[in-house]
Amino acid sequence: RYVLGGEDRFRVNSDVGLRIGSASKVFGKVRARYTAPFGKWQLMLSETGSWYSDDGFGEVSEVRLSRDLNGGWLFRSSSTCTVEEGQKGVTPQQTFSLVNEVSEKRAYRLDLYGGWPECPDTTQADYRLTTTYRQLIHSDWLFMEISPGVSFPQEHGYAVNPLITVLFDTVFGE
């Protein structure tokens, strides 16, 4: 990741990398964001352009509202809309999160998510409830997240589908 602009309210950054999964992909992204106070809330607007070797170009617009709550908790509402090359329609998503950063090494998050791919003709809507535990596991740069939860996919008649995600996250620089 390379940060092109560093002001607190306005920032531009870029990413280049390799996503490893069932089909590995080379990718590049550019993201611009603007953050401003809005009473007791914080408003963040962002725009991301991306390219993936297998999927082509894409764009994500996001509106995020955050507010500190009692007991060290943070409430966050994130509304996004994604357009991708080769996909018909758009993909709106809504996530409500409660986050508690216990320390610089440990945090918890509870997410309620809804996604509606290829609107307006959605046949693969998905709703999820997950809880995430994030832990620093090495030095000050390697984190691990474990996220168990349940999803309710439209394509399976909204039947309960258990899930678990394990993520390793590296942070370089400050």
Q: Could you report the per-residue pLDDT of 155-171, keeping only the tens digit for each?
A: 999 999 999 999 998 88
Give the pLDDT score at 19. Answer: 78
* Whole-Å CA distances, 32 to 10, 62, 130, 144, 166: 7, 11, 28, 27, 28
Which pLDDT value is given to residue 7? Answer: 67
Query: Which ranges of the chain have pLDDT less than 70?
Result: 1-7, 173-174
- The whole-model pTM stands at 0.84
Q: How are beta strands 73-84 and 56-68 bridged, if at all?
A: antiparallel
Tokens read off for 172: 């370089």
Q: In what order do the strands lie in the sheet with 25-38?
A: 2-6, 10-19, 25-38, 41-52, 56-68, 73-84, 91-101, 106-115, 126-138, 142-153, 161-170
Q: What is the pLDDT of residue 6?
A: 63
